[in-house]
């Protein structure tokens, strides 16, 4: 799965600043319930996570959450098919390439919206 730096790079390419990126990454990768208890890692990789991302940061949060979930899914699929060091290298390469493409599609003209 891509680390937070990769998610941050994708957000930057989309014209979204680091504050929004870190908020969305934290929400999706380290989810908490209403009482502050930690939830399982991907428990918000669904419509609820998209809705919460939208409530936090509007359209930018929603778009970034969708891309984040795609990034994680691509990495998951590659790692499931290719094991070991080759799988890790392929995951990093493919995730980065696909994400940069997706980031360009979702890009906003002005940079670093907060």
**Is the residue at 113 inside a domain?**
no
**Is the residue at 111 inside a domain?**
no
Over the range 78-98, which residues count as b (16 or more CB within 10 Å of their CB) and which as e?
Answer: beeeeeeeeeeeebeeebbeb
Total domain count, the chain: 1
Whole domain around residue 28: which residue ranges? 4-105
**pLDDT at residue 114, as a whole number:** 47
**Is the residue at 53 inside a domain?**
yes
**Is the residue at 9 inside a domain?**
yes
The model's pLDDT over 12-71, given as tens digits with 9 standing for 90+, comes to 888 888 999 999 998 998 888 778 888 887 788 888 899 999 999 999 999 899 888 888
**Is the residue at 112 inside a domain?**
no
Using alpha carbons, list the distances in angstroms from residue 51 to 45, 54, 66, 96. 11, 5, 11, 26
**Is the residue at 65 inside a domain?**
yes
**Is the residue at 110 inside a domain?**
no
**pLDDT at residue 55, as a whole number:** 94
Q: Which residue has the higher pLDDT, 105 or 28?
A: 28
**Is the residue at 56 inside a domain?**
yes
**pLDDT at residue 112, as a whole number:** 46
- Partnered with residue 32 across adjacent β-strands are 38
């Amino acid at each position: 799965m891509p680390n937070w730096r990769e998610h941050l790079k994708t957000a930057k390419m989309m014209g979204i600043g680091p504050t929004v990126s870190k908020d969305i990454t934290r929400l999706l990768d380290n989810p908490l319930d209403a009482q502050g208890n930690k939830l399982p890692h991907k428990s918000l990789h669904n419509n609820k996570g998209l809705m919460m991302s939208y409530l936090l940061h509007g359209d930018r949060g929603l778009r970034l959450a969708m891309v984040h979930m795609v990034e994680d899914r691509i990495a998951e699929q590659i790692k499931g098919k290719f094991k070991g060091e080759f799988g890790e290298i392929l995951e990093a390469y493919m995730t980065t390439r696909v994400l940069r493409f997706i980031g360009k599609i979702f890009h906003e003209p002005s940079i670093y919206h907060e």
